[in-house]
Amino acid sequence: MTIYGDGFSFELVSPIEGVVTHINQDVIQNPALALGDPYKDGWIATLKAPDFNTNQRNLMQASMVAPWMHYNQTRLNAEVAKLNPALAQDGGVPVSGLLQRVNPELRHRIITEFFLN
């Protein structure tokens, strides 16, 4: 899947192997659905994953998700603070549209580090 922003784009890699069987046309028409309601109306695609059991074992499991998210939020905040202290998180809510607000160098570093591109 390709994510497009103001003057930039990058690829996201699926966490499981398979074949896309459906694409949510509502999200194509209104991408904000993916952010606002990703588990209901904002789903992006469905996949047929012939080897799902193997793929699932390679995904992060329940008890590991919260610490992983906290660790990566801390890392992201540190990256943002290095090159753009004005956008550094102060413990409040996450900044919406962060990639559009940072300079191209920081955007590239965030995409490379956090989206594995």
Q: What is the pLDDT of residues 23-76, one digit of tens each?
A: 999 999 999 999 899 999 999 999 999 999 999 988 988 899 999 999 998 888
Q: Are strands 8-11 and 2-5 parallel, antiparallel or unpaired?
A: antiparallel
- Is 47 domain-assigned? yes
- Is 5 domain-assigned? no
- Is 69 domain-assigned? yes
**Residue 111 is part of which domain span?**
60-117
**Same domain? 42 vs 54:** yes
Predicted TM-score (pTM) of the model is 0.71
Domains contained in the chain, number: 2
Considering all CA atoms of the chain, what is the largest pairwise distance in Å, rounded to the nearest integer? 46
**End-of-domain residue from the set 9, 36, 58:** 58
The torsion angles phi and psi of 47, rounded to 5 degrees, stand at: -125, 150
- Is 66 domain-assigned? yes
